[in-house]
C-alpha cells in the first residue's frame, strides 16, 4: 500500500504562478467593471439632477411671467446666482448645500472637496449685466429642444461659447464623464452630448447656433 506523503499534496511553483496570474487578471477585470458601473451611475445621477433642475426652472418661469432664472448683477455690482433663484423650486435648495450630503446642483462625478466652480454651468446668455441686456423668456427660445440652458462643467460657472478652444479650456466641459458633458435643454430634457464641441464663432452650422443661442 502506497503511503501518503505530505509534500506531494502541495502546489508546484508553476501552478502557483498560474493561479496568481489568473487572480491578477480577475482583479483587473473586476476593477474595470466596477469603474464602468460607477461611471454609468454617475451619468444617470447627473442627468436626474439636471431633469430635477429643469422642473424647477419650469415652475420658476410659470411664477415669473415666463422669465428664466439668471445670474444678474445689480447696480452695486452684486451678482445673484441662478441657483439661489431656484431655492423655492428645487429641493434640497441651493442654500442648504453645506448641510446635505448630495445636492441636485452638483454633478455626482464632481471631485471633492467642492468649490464654487464645480456646479452646473449656465449658458452665458443668461448672465445679465446692466440694463442693456434683457432677461430671457421661455417664449423667446426658437428651438427649446436644441437650446442648452445648463452644462455639466467645471469652469467659471457659465458656458463661454465664443470659440471651441475657449469653451473647452474655460468651461472644463470635457473633464468629467469621459469627455461627454451632460446638457439640460430648454424643453426640460437632459442628455449626454456626443458631438464635437464647437462655439458659435467656429462654425456657421445652424445646429450650433441653436445649441448656444435662444433668440
Q: How many Å is the maximal CA-CA distance in the chain?
A: 104
pLDDT of 75 reads: 66
Residue 3, pLDDT score: 54
Strands 79-80 and 71-73: antiparallel
If you count them, how many residues does the chain have? 215
pLDDT of residue 2: 53
In angstroms and rounded to an integer, the radius of gyration of the C-alpha atoms of the chain is: 25
Report pLDDT for 160. 86
Q: Block means of pLDDT (10 residues each) for the chain, length 215 residues?
A: 54 72 68 73 94 97 95 76 94 89 87 71 83 82 96 82 84 87 96 91 91 92
Give the separation between CA 178 and CA 194, rounded to whole angstroms: 11
For residue 150, give the C-alpha cell: 445648463
Compute the distance between CA of residue 88 and CA of residue 57 in angstroms, rounded to an integer. 11
The x, y and z cell numbers of residue 120, run together, are: 452646473
Amino acid at each position: 500500500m502506497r503511503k501518503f506523503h505530505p509534500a506531494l499534496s502541495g502546489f508546484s511553483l508553476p501552478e502557483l504562478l498560474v493561479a496568481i496570474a489568473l487572480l491578477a487578471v480577475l482583479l483587473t477585470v473586476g476593477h474595470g467593471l466596477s469603474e464602468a458601473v460607477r461611471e454609468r451611475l454617475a451619468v444617470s445621477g447627473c442627468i436626474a439632477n439636471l431633469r430635477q433642475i429643469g422642473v424647477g426652472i419650469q415652475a420658476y418661469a410659470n411664477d415669473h411671467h415666463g422669465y428664466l432664472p439668471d445670474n444678474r448683477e445689480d447696480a452695486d455690482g452684486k451678482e445673484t446666482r441662478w441657483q439661489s433663484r431656484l431655492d423655492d423650486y428645487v429641493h434640497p435648495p441651493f442654500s442648504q448645500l453645506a448641510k446635505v450630503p448630495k445636492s441636485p446642483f452638483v454633478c455626482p462625478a464632481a471631485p471633492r472637496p467642492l468649490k464654487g466652480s464645480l456646479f452646473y454651468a449656465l449658458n452665458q446668455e443668461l448672465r445679465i449685466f446692466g440694463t442693456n441686456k434683457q432677461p430671457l423668456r421661455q417664449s423667446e427660445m426658437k428651438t427649446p429642444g436644441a437650446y442648452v440652458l445648463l452644462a455639466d462643467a467645471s469652469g467659471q460657472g457659465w458656458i463661454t461659447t465664443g470659440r471651441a478652444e475657449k469653451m473647452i479650456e474655460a468651461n472644463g466641459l470635457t473633464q468629467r464623464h469621459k469627455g461627454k458633458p451632460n446638457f439640460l435643454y430648454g424643453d426640460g430634457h437632459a442628455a449626454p452630448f456626443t458631438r464635437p464641441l464647437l462655439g458659435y464663432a467656429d462654425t456657421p452650422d445652424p445646429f450650433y447656433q441653436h445649441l448656444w443661442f435662444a433668440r
